[in-house]
Chain A
Amino acid sequence: MAECTIPTLTTMDEVQRKSVLPSDYRADMAGLKQLDLKPPILELIRRASSRLPQDVIDALVKGRDAEEEGSRAFNTLNDMVKNILLADGHVTPLCQDTGTLIFWVRHPYGLSQHKVKQQIRATVVEATQRVWLRPNCVSSLEGKNTGNNLDPFHEGHPVVHFEEWEKSEIEVAIMLKGGGCENVGAQYRLPDVTIGAGRDIGGVRKAIIDAVVKAQGQGCSPGILGVAIGGDRVTGYEKSKEVILRKLGTPNPDPKMDQFEKEITNDLNTLGIGPMGYGGKTTVLGVLVEEMFRHPASFFVSISYMCWSSRRRVMTIGANGDVSFD
């Protein structure tokens, strides 16, 4: 029987010591046009690739402790916890599939999006050389790997979303989304007679259940579901990824939706799919839902499945130039 691993990550002092961001780094927020974000972004990638967020670890541990000790589900969740500690301790990728790299940059007026995109691209190349990222960008038909994680022609990878906002700080969020879980994402167009789903919250619920049953363990369960109700085919899927940035255990701002998230999570955990599809009580760690507006004729439910190794980090650069990571 596997020993029960205590989920203690390295201390923040240790993280600081290993940081690649010089301790005296301070962003020059007075010169937004000339800002060099490469050093903090490199540290952001390092943390995202090797150190799982605490809320995800807590959810995995809660799942493990709900399984029968010594069962395959228990041992599998325990191995996941062990893996988390090893990756954090060694600063190595949590998973060999370091995923599609998605960035969200929110910034004040005056920052050059063109420059920041080039800085992100250069930093991704460096992180790949440092073996924190696997080269994951190949041409579709020939399968040729570019070797550096860059889509050379269309700049489609890494994915970078920009938004100008009124705050004076800069926020950069990152997600490393593996291919296995991306492959089990699904988009439903309601009504859907094949699953008896109408254009209401009951129909949304059926779509979610159907997607999770179809996914089985293939998205590396227990997964985290990001669900967007509405939008169009593109914005729905985009939103379904963005909502996965919300911490598990943080309530949905909409009380009705919060209730729905809790109920559907409980329902899904009675499916018996369990960690890696081995059977068990822990099939999902959480469901995060956001309602959007839609065209009257369209009713999409877009579902992104995030594997248990939900690698996401957010970096904030304050108006004074200080960098903090969450």
Chain B
Amino acid sequence: MIRLTTPISEDQARQLKVGDEVLLNGKLVLSRDMGHKYMKEQKPEWLKPILKGMVIYHCGPVVKKNADGSWSFVAAGPTTSIREEPYEADVLDTYQVRGVIGKGGMGKKTSDGLVKTGAVYFHATGGAGSLLAERVKRVVDVHMLEEFGSPEAFWVIEVDDFPVVVTMDSHGGSLHEIVLAQSQERAKALMAK
């Protein structure tokens, strides 16, 4: 088990390999569909210091506003990452992001982006909304809440031993490619029956 604290350096990211189990600590920045479109098309400068060396989490959380005005995460598992395929490689490059957490894996364009920028794709257990929300220590900040709505906003959170697995690395490796190829092979055999 590897423990990493954000911000992550390029060297740290390049040392990670497919199959590594990692516990993440420090800050994560949440972003999904609207945020990625916005980052690619508008390249907002204000996000640069927030995202440098950071890990983006594909997640639209259930959040609760507390009586004192602070926020709590109630459920916060990963969303399907492939929807960000048109944007992710550009986001990694523009903002020098070192990791992306999501589910389901991503495609060739992102894989090439991970190699170029020096970043990894972390997989979290989909549907484990309660379990993963327990690892969120606090909500540090939120951006674009009004504009995007709560599931799409840029939430900045601090996590404690957030459990993920590296399924795509900066060397072109992808567990998703391997499982896909093997299952396609098996499907051919089943369909021939």
List A residues at the B interface (Cβ < 8 Å): 72, 76, 79-80, 82-83, 86-87, 90, 92-98, 131, 134-136, 138, 143-145, 147, 178-180, 183, 195-196, 206, 209-210, 213, 216-218, 220, 267, 270-274, 276-279, 307-309
Pull 19 A–B residue pairs with CB atoms less than 8 Å apart, ordered by A: A72-B165, A79-B125, A79-B128, A82-B131, A92-B75, A92-B133, A96-B59, A96-B75, A134-B151, A135-B150, A145-B152, A179-B79, A179-B80, A216-B183, A217-B179, A271-B186, A271-B190, A272-B179, A308-B127
Residues of A within 8 A of B150 (CB): 134-135, 145
A143 to B149, CA, bound (A): 9
A79 to B163, CA, bound (A): 10
| Pair A138/B179 contact, Cβ less than 8 Å | no
A186 → chain B closest CB, angstroms: 14
Q: B141 an interface residue at 8 Å Cβ cutoff? A: no
Partner of B191, one of A76, A138, A195: A195
A87 to B62, CA, bound (A): 13
> What is the interface of chain B mostly: helix, strand, loop, or mixed?
mixed
A76 to B132, CA, bound (A): 13
Given contacts A196-B191, A218-B82, A272-B179, contact A136 B151 (CB under 8 A): yes
Counting chain B CB atoms within 10 Å of each CB, which of A97, A267, A273 scores highest? A97
| Pair B180/A276 contact, Cβ less than 8 Å | no
Residues of A within 8 A of B76 (CB): 96
| Pair B104/A218 contact, Cβ less than 8 Å | yes
A272 to B179, CA, bound (A): 7
Question: Considering the complex of A and B, which 9 residue pairs feature the smallest CB-CB distances, nearest first?
Answer: A145-B149, A218-B104, A96-B75, A86-B130, A220-B126, A83-B131, A95-B129, A87-B130, A83-B128
A191 to B129, CA, bound (A): 40
Contacts across chains A and B counted by CB atoms under 8 Å:
164
Q: Which of B144-170 contact A (CB under 8 A)?
A: 148-152, 163, 165, 167
A92 to B80, CA, bound (A): 21
List B residues at the A interface (Cβ < 8 Å): 33-34, 59-64, 74-77, 79-80, 82, 103-105, 123, 125-131, 133-134, 148-152, 163, 165, 167, 175-176, 178-180, 182-184, 186-187, 190-191
Partner of A143, one of B74, B79, B152: B152
B63 → chain A closest CB, angstroms: 8
Partner of B128, one of A80, A206, A267: A80
A220 to B126, CA, bound (A): 6
Counting chain A CB atoms within 10 Å of each CB, which of B74, B75, B79, B165 scores highest? B75
Question: Nearest B residue to A220 by beta-carbon distance?
Answer: B126
| Pair A277/B179 contact, Cβ less than 8 Å | yes
B132 → chain A closest CB, angstroms: 8
Residues of A within 8 A of B130 (CB): 83, 86-87, 90, 92-94
Residues of A within 8 A of B79 (CB): 97, 179-180
| Pair B123/A278 contact, Cβ less than 8 Å | yes
| Pair B149/A83 contact, Cβ less than 8 Å | no
| Pair B149/A144 contact, Cβ less than 8 Å | yes
